Homo-oligomer: A and B are copies of this chain.
Amino acid sequence: MIKIYEDNDSIGLFLQLMQRRSEEDSKDALEAVEGIIGAVRKEGDASIKAFTEKFDGVTLEQLKVNEVEIEDAFSKVSSNIKNALEKAITNIEYFHKKQIRQSWVSTEENGVIMGQKISALEKVGVYVPGGSAAYPSSVLMNVIPAKLAGVKKIVMVTPPKKDGSIDSNILVAAKLAGVSEIYKVGGAQAIAALAYGTDTIPKVDKIVGPGNIYVALAKRVCYGKVDIDMIAGPSEITIVCDEKANPRFLAADLMSQAEHDKLASSVLITTSKTLAEEVNKQINIQIQNLNRKEIIEASLKNYGGILVVKSLEEAIDMANTIAPEHLELMIENPIAYLGKVKNAGSIFLGQYSPEPLGDYMAGPNHVLPTNGTARFFSPLSVDDFIKKSSYIYYTEDALRELSEDIMILAKAEGLDAHGNSIKVRVENE
């Protein structure tokens, strides 16, 4: 059952509430994280093993996952799952290959050459959470764009279980996607190891992948020393629909987002109050058979909302204000409305493009900007694993032509050594 909001004031209050969702910023957690990072920088592998003993309850001899463990995982995972992963990889690669960019050069008539050189990051770290949030699909989504960008070394880290093992699905997904090395380490200590390097774990250029509050804080603290993917918050879906949309589909999609966690937000914006009520009926029916019923109920109660508005235009404006991670347009001729969408991580068009299709199989990335940050952040892509360098080559004549103007601006800025570097080239000694 999701609360229905009809008047502007209560809709406004609901939107404010959902945008204020977030985990408490904890000074204690930050201090703990800073302590862990300091220890890893100082003591390297020894402190990694100590933290793993403390937090994961297991004493490890070797941090690195070996070939036998990977073969073992392959033998344990069903061929159904392996085939599904392979199909997902094919589709994800198909989409992400279209994102690959080329270096460009511009050669001018006067002999000047300028351009932008694209190169892959050399080493990337991928964090994979443990426990119930160990998702093989996320391994694919984080690793494949890095691989396609041309990253040579992709280092995966993930916390071990109490028996020292790693989830078999995760190992299989990592191997199939092309991870180079896997280490059994999680939490802030894993981020510190990737940012600074230890004897065993290589220092990387960028760290991607989701994690708990300690992982998120450690990424934020190390940002600048190493690049990170994005600042992730609680996730959400917004569905815009007209009165012809199928309430059964709508209910299912809202719940598929809600099952993630109690901070997740599922919002339906519709022009039809009758439909809103039918959706609630469908939720009550379908939820009975769902395993994560309790989480779904809490999430829908806390941050779920059905907003009844006057027009489709108003609905899309409201979605732009929310700037949702996932936006479903369950309307007739949805492609005609694509131009009106300003802020959304991933957009699902029509009745047969539900969000879980995008989570697993369609091809676009499921690592998306959350909590309203689609105003300025983008889905994870091949772009996240490259860097650019610009370059220029000037001839003596071409430099001479601009020399006066450069010296004028250098003087205006009080930087005469800048002017001098031009002067020594255009004036005789």
Contacts and interface: CB of A to CB of B under 8 A. Distances in A.
A261 B383 CA distance: 33
B396 A352 contact: yes
Given A259-B415, A349-B392, A387-B377, A405 B114 contact: no
Interface stretch (A37-45, A156-164, A289-297, A301-309): A289-297
Nearest to A83: B405
Contact of A413 (B135, B286, B290): B135
Given A98-B104, A259-B415, A416-B291, A347 B391 contact: yes
Given A80-B408, A374-B387, A394 B255 contact: no
Nearest to A286: B420
Interface string A261-274: 00000000000000
A294 to B, nearest CB: 12
A364 interface: yes
Contacts of A423: 252
Contacts of A391: 338, 346-349, 364
B387 A381 contact: no
A377 B395 CA distance: 29
Contacts of A343: 387
B417 A361 contact: no
Given A253-B421, A413-B136, A394 B292 contact: no
A408 B292 contact: no
A197 interface: no
B98 A362 contact: no
A393 B114 contact: no
Interface string A347-370: 111111111111111111100000
What class of interface size applies to chain A in its complex with B?
35 or more
A390 interface: yes
Contacts of A46: none
A429 interface: yes
Interface string A225-240: 0110001010000000
Contacts of A354: 399, 421-422, 425
B409 A360 contact: yes
Contact of A409 (B85, B351, B395): B85
A324 B415 CA distance: 21
Interface of A: 80-81, 83-85, 87-88, 95, 98-99, 104, 106, 113-114, 116-117, 119, 121-122, 132, 135-137, 169, 205-206, 220, 223-224, 226-227, 231, 233, 248-249, 252-253, 255-256, 258-260, 286, 289-292, 296, 334-335, 338, 341-365, 373-379, 381, 383, 387-396, 398-399, 402, 404-406, 408-410, 412-425, 429
Leading 7 A-B pairs by shortest Cβ distance: A224-B231, A364-B390, A347-B391, A349-B393, A84-B405, A378-B388, A227-B376
11 contacts: A88-B405, A95-B106, A223-B223, A252-B423, A255-B417, A290-B416, A348-B391, A350-B393, A356-B421, A365-B390, A374-B387
